[in-house]
Amino acid sequence: MQWWNAFVDWFYSEDGQRLLVTAVIPFVAIVVAGIVAALIGRGATKRLVAQRDHETRAAAVSSLISAGQNAARWHSQTPAAREHAEHLANDADVMVRLLPISGANYAADWASHQLADMRTNSVSFSYQADQTLAEYRERLVTWLHKPGKGRKLFAADLERWRYEDQATDPVIVEQQKWAEEQFTAATDQPVAHAEQLPLPAEAEPAEATAVQPAVVEPADLYSSPVATAEEPSLDTPARGV
């Protein structure tokens, strides 16, 4: 206890108070200020990184939504516009796959499937394409704000599409046929579906007829190329006397 009493006497002395005011308190203040500044800087950096990450994800999702809007009116666009829209869709797909976020590949695969469906249904110019576009936009926005939930939904849809029956709904076929007739009547331009139409008989590629090469017997290597002339006989006929 003697050393404690000595320390207390020194602390309350003039020298102890001078050391406390000139050294201890400034040192503690500097340390506390450094810790507070580090915490503030860390929080600001995290907010800046999170904001930048959110902006990147929002830009990628906006690109996919723009590609979906182009796909919903696919059959009303010119060939040049279709090519440009296809290029933008490919860029959006790559941008989404490069995102450092959970479910980016699932989102890109799901969006590719939905874009193909919207391009197919866009010929009907009806409720089907608009409904698919609304679901497409809502699901991507959900994934933007809740990546975990969106990833589960994308995985479930992809698994269901993998095993479901791919038969075409006859009602949709009739709607598309009627819409194609209306489009052709209004624009005098037929809707191209060359990949779905059978080729005519004259356009079908003819099967190649196998040509059998003629079998040539090898010539005798030791035979003379020129027929040998018949040698004259040495026996001469006897002359009459």
43 lies in some domain: no
| pLDDT value at residue 5 | 82
Report angle CA 224, 228, 229 to the nearest 5 degrees. Answer: 165
How far is CA 75 from its chain centroid?
Answer: 22
Q: Number of structural domains, the chain? A: 1
What's the rounded Cα separation, in Å, for the pair 67 and 138? 14
List the domain range (segments joined by +) for residue 112: 57-190
Looking at residue 159, what is its pLDDT? Answer: 87
Asked whether residue 169 is domain-assigned, the answer is: yes
Q: Is residue 95 part of a domain?
A: yes
Q: What is the pLDDT of residue 27?
A: 92
Confidence at residue 175, expressed as pLDDT on a 0 to 100 scale: 66
pLDDT tens, per residue, the chain with 241 residues = 788 888 888 878 888 888 888 888 899 999 999 999 999 999 999 999 888 888 888 898 999 999 888 888 888 888 888 889 889 999 999 999 988 887 889 999 999 998 888 888 777 655 677 788 888 899 999 888 888 888 898 988 888 888 775 555 565 666 667 777 777 777 776 666 544 444 444 444 444 444 455 444 544 444 444 444 444 444 444 444 3
What is the per-residue pLDDT for 226?
47
Residue 197 lies in a domain: no
Q: What single DSSP character describes residue 76?
A: G
The answer to whether residue 121 sits within a structural domain is yes
- Pick from 55, 56, 91: nearest CA to 70: 91
Grouping H, G, I as helix, E, B as strand and the rest as coil, residue 48 is helix
Q: Residue 234: its pLDDT value, please?
A: 47
Q: Is residue 111 part of a domain?
A: yes
Tokens of 9: 């006497």
Which pLDDT score, from 0 to 100, does residue 210 have? 46
Which pLDDT score, from 0 to 100, does residue 133 have? Answer: 85
Burial class (CB in 10 A: 0-12, 13-18, 19+), 113: middle
Q: Is residue 225 part of a domain?
A: no
In a domain, 185, yes or no: yes
Question: Cα separations (Å) of 102 from 6, 107, 140, 177?
Answer: 64, 9, 13, 41
Closest by CA position to 85, among listed 125, 41, 116: 116
